[in-house]
Every structure is written in structure tokens, then in C-alpha cells.
Amino acid sequence: MFKEYATLLPHLKNYKFRYIAGILCLIAVDASQVIIPRYIKTAIDTIVSGSFQLRDLSSPLIAMVILALIISIGRFFWRYFINIASRRIEAEMRNRLFTHILSMSGGFFRKNTTGDLMARATNDISTIRQATGMGFVALVDGVFMTAMILVAMFANNAAVAAWVIIPLPLITALILLFGRIVGTLFKRIQDIYGRLSNIAQESLAGVRVVKSFVKEQHFFDTFSSANTEYKNAIMELVKTSGFFFPFITFLSGLSTVLLVYFGGNASIRNKMTPGSIIAMLSYLEMLVWPMMSAGFTVNIVQRGAASLKRINEVLGTKAEIQESKRMIMERPHGDIEIRALDYRYPGSEKLALSDISLRVNSGSILGILGKVGSGKSTLFKLLPRMLEPGEEHIYIGGKDICSFSLESLRSTFGVVPQESFLFSETIRGNILFSTSDLGQARFDEIAWIAGLERDLILFPQGWDTIVGERGITLSGGQKQRIALARALAVDSDILLLDDALSAVDAETEERILRALLEERRGKTTVIVSHRISTLRNADQIIVLDGGKIQQKGTHEQLLSESEGFYARIAALQQLEEESCANCGEAHDTEGLNG
């Protein structure tokens, strides 16, 4: 169990002085509490003697007031030192986890759902904070308080104290058993919570699809089932706690019965004064908290260990793509060269790309055509090392891309992926996502190139319109064009367009391409598209099929290969355009969703 806490050692070291100060304050509080019954004993024995004056009680009363003041001040400061430290550790752990997750490659996110990662970053981290805060306090408080109380009790009357503590070993055994049960139950609760979070996240993120297919009831049933399972798991933990803690209190109560019997017997034989019995009773009442805190400590430590195990599973996962030991910090520039590149996705026996060899001259345009699953997107992800190509396969400017730092390599690319992702931000904020020093004139120019200027009147607050989560208020074409504008704002050396205009009508696409090619003159652009009209302006076109390059050449050269895939697709699209022209049909996929 405690091996999981090794992850926290660097954080605990950072706040060791706070914890030391907090422990000293806590010990001062415990010592003051243990001393108070001694003054109660003195006061009671003075009263029982029958021959006393009120001034005889002043000394013990003043001492108790001073001790109560020390307890109040000490409690404030141990909370100040320890709770603040635990809150800071919580924030540091959450930052550490989030930073690590951001460094992970695509394979990690295929194995771990968003909802489960969110549960680890919130619920599990909060549990760890409790372990480093109140769990730590309960542990230290329980140990020192118990030790001081037992010393005080035996100093008061060793014989009676020996009888009174008989139930304590049984309490200890129950607490250890309780800890093992809690650890198992809490790990199950956290796993179910992660699944519940994932169901909620997917249902809300895909609410448009859910409503379109009228599957609200299905997702409600799925969520309700997981929620019920989560409730039942928590109730099982509550029932376990509900049995153990009252039973521990009962055993502690037996100590009081033993005190009354054996203390009364000692008092009859004049071996204990009434004040001593009252003091011993006070110690027993005080001993209930350490006994309870022992159960609380085991509970919270087990919960913390279960949560840390889940956090450590993430932190212990190494990124598939590692920085090179001989990192080049400068941004790559020059020709792109691919040499005998093969790529197989982890766990798959089939090659996604096979023997890809290609040269793209700096400043030229490469077009890529291929069937679904032919490897187009895979090739795109390999260029900026979103997937790992391995050394000596892809070069930019004659240098292996694996020799560049990931930051410098990826900063040379502008990417418009197949599925446009927008943040729940304004349109302006999404376009300026990767740059903050873009002037208004340049912003307007980019918006015009991306064909967004005509949509401006459709946006209620203009460029400051919030697009909603994942751009839910926009059409597919609008999202693609905002994503294109975002990539253009970076002004990258290499622009990757992965079927980036598929949701845009042909007329708008042609206008955007003309402006885009003019904007990108002298810079490398790689375009994946299913439309021949998009690819015909490329300096070089390749046709992928089954992960291999089946054709390579210019638009005219590939059209001359009448039996080739490129020529057949071009002919089919030409017939479709002529048919649409004859029918007078016009297709427009634009417009703000109502």
C-alpha cells in the first residue's frame, strides 16, 4: 500500500518545513489536552476534601484557561501549515498529471477514455489531498495522542490502566481488517466513477447525434445503470463503515465500564482519589478520538493509496514518442524526403503504410488521393511525429525529423485535420489559438482567404461569437474554414490539409483554393482530397491504395493513364458535375445552425 505514496515524496519534501511546523503545533495541542485532566484531578480532589476556599481553585482554573488558549492557537496553525501544504500538493499533482497526459501519443488515448482521465484528475487527486492533509493529521495525532494518554493513565494508576486498556488490541485488529476491506471497495468505487464520467462526457459531447437518432432513453438507461452501480458500491462502503465505527465506539465504551468497576474498587481501598477517577475518565473519553482516528486514518490512507495507484498507472506510462538525445532546437526547413517508410499501428498485423518513398521539393504542392483507409491520414500524422516513423525514414532539409525537438519540428507545420476541432471560445479566439500578435489587417486577410467574410453577418456577435463546445453552433463547412484560418494564422513553412474542404461547396472551394495557393506561394503545401478539382493544381500527385503508392505524377500525367485510379475518379466526377449542371442543382453546405 505505502509503495504507492513514493510518488508524493518529491512534493512532500518541498513542504517538509510546513509539515514539521504543523506536527509541532499538533503535538503542542495534544500535550495541552493531555495535561488538562491533571488540573481537573487537582480541582476535584480539592473540592472533595471539603476544606477549601475558592482561591485554592484559581491555579488549576487559570492553568486550564491557558492550556485551552494554547489548544486554540495550535489548532489554527496546524491547519494553516498542513492543510495549505496538502492543497498545494493537490494542485501540483493535478498539474503534473495534466502535463503528462498532454505529452502522451495517440495510442494512449485509444486505451484511456476521456471520462476516466477526468475522474483521475479530479476525484482521485482530491482523495490524495485528503490523505496528505487530514489523513496525515489523523495519523500523527492518533500516534502521539494515544502514546501520551497511555503514559498519563499508567502514571495515574498503572493497575487500573492495565485493566482499562484490555479492549484496545481488539480495536486495533478490527481497524487493520477495516483498512483492507476499504482499500478494495474504494478502488472499485473509483473505477466505476471513471466509467460513469466517461458515459456522461460522451453523451454530452455527442448530444447532437444522440438527439438525431432519438437515443436519449438508451443513454439515460446506460447512465442510470452505471449510476446505480456507483451508488451500490458507495452504499457497501457506507455499510462497512457504519458497522466498524459504532463497534469501535462500543469497545471503547467497555473501557469506561472497566474503569468504573476497577477504579471504584481502587477508590474503596484508598488507592485512587475521586479526582484520579475523573481524570482517568477524561483520558478514556479523549482516547476515543485516537481510536476513531486510527480507523479514519486507515480509511483515508487506503483510499489515497487506491487513488494514487490509478494516478501512478498514468504517470508510469511512457510516451510512445520520445525526444531525441541529440535534439536540434532549430526549426527544420527545406525539401521533404521519405525513404522506404513502413508503419504498422500497435496491435495490428497489417501495415498501414508500406515502402513509401517520396520527395517533395520545398515550396511545392503535393496532392494525395486514395480510398478510405489507404493510409493518407497516417502519412500526415507521421510527418510532424504525431505517430512515430522511426529514424532514417523521413527527412526535412536533409535532416532526420527524429533529430529535431518535438516543439521545433511541430512548429514548422500548420495542420488542418480531417475532423475540425474547435474550442468553446469565440471565433476570433479559435483563429488566434496559436498566435497572439496578429494584426487586424492580417486577421481580416486570413478570414477572407478562408472564405469566412461572407458568414460574418450570420454570427450574432461577429468574430466574438462563442461557437459552443466543439463548434456545435456551426455547420461543417464553417468549422473547416475556421480551422483553415487557424492554420494560416501560424504562417507555417509546411501546411498539411487533410481533406480540409470536404464540407465546402465546389464554388466556395475553388475560390478558397485560388486565394490559398496565392498565399502559400513559395511554401510547401500537402493536400489530401477526394476531389480532383482540388488536386489538379498540385506540382506532384500521388495515389495511395492499401498503404502503397500506386501512381505518381502531375495532374496531366495521371489523366493520361486512362486505366489508373486517378483518371477513373476524374471521369466520374466530371460526369457528376455535368449531370448537376444539366439538372440546375446547386449544393450549399454552409449556414449557421438554427
- Quote the pLDDT of residue 510: 84
Tens digits of pLDDT across the chain (594 residues): 567 788 888 888 889 899 999 999 999 998 998 898 888 888 888 887 767 677 778 888 899 999 999 999 999 999 999 999 999 998 988 898 888 888 887 778 878 777 788 888 888 888 888 888 888 888 888 788 888 888 888 888 888 888 887 877 777 777 767 767 776 787 788 788 878 888 887 787 777 677 777 778 888 888 888 899 888 888 888 888 788 777 777 777 787 788 888 888 888 888 888 888 888 888 887 877 776 667 667 778 877 888 888 888 888 888 778 777 777 788 888 899 999 999 988 778 888 999 999 999 998 999 999 888 888 888 988 998 888 888 889 999 888 888 888 888 888 888 888 788 888 788 888 888 877 778 888 888 888 888 888 888 888 888 888 887 666 778 788 888 888 888 888 888 899 988 888 777 778 888 888 888 888 888 899 998 888 888 888 899 999 988 899 989 998 999 888 788 888 888 888 887 777 666 654 444 344 333
Residue 22 near residue 81 (C-beta atoms within 8 A): yes
Query: Helix crossing, 16-49 with 84-102: angle to 10°?
Result: 150
Residue 416 near residue 500 (C-beta atoms within 8 A): yes
β-sheet bridge partners, residue 549: 544
- Quote the pLDDT of residue 358: 92
* CA gyration radius, the chain: 36
Q: How far does CA 397 lie from the centroid of its chain? A: 37
Residue 531 near residue 555 (C-beta atoms within 8 A): no
C-alpha grid cell, residue 583: 439538372
Residue 503 phi/psi, 5-degree rounding, is -95, 10
β-sheet bridge partners, residue 524: 494
* pTM > 0.85: yes or no: no
* Domains, the chain, with CATH or none: 2-315 (1.20.1560.10), 366-372+405-583 (3.40.50.300)
- DSSP 8-state assignment for residue 57: G
pLDDT per residue over 46-55, tens digit each? 887 767 677 7
Cα three-residue angle 182-188-190, rounded to 5 degrees? 100
**Is residue 12 exposed (0-12), middle (13-18) or buried (19+ Cβ within 10 Å)?**
middle
Q: In terms of DSSP H, where are the helices of 388-496? A: 406-410, 427-431, 440-449, 476-490
Residue 521 phi/psi, 5-degree rounding, is -55, 125
**Is residue 536 exposed (0-12), middle (13-18) or buried (19+ Cβ within 10 Å)?**
middle
pLDDT per residue over 160-199, tens digit each? 888 887 877 777 777 767 767 776 787 788 788 878 888 8
**DSSP line for 306-365:** HHHHHHHHHHTPPPSS---TT-B-SPP-S-EEEEEEEE--TT-SS-SEEEEEEEE-TT-E
- Quote the pLDDT of residue 198: 80
Q: What stretches of 507-562 adopt beta strand conformation (E)?
A: 524-528, 540-545, 548-553
Residues listed for the chain: 594
The greatest distance separating any two alpha carbons of the chain, rounded to the nearest whole angstrom, comes to 124
CB neighbours of residue 470 within 10 Å: 17
Q: Report the amino acid identity of residue 364.
A: S
- Quote the pLDDT of residue 250: 79
CA dihedral 169, 170, 175, 176 (to 10 degrees): 70
- Quote the pLDDT of residue 586: 43
Output the CA–CA distances (angstroms, integers) from residue 90 to 7, 216, 301, 304, in the order listed.
12, 36, 15, 12
C-alpha grid cell, residue 264: 471504584
Q: What stretches of 68-211 adopt beta strand conformation (E)?
A: none
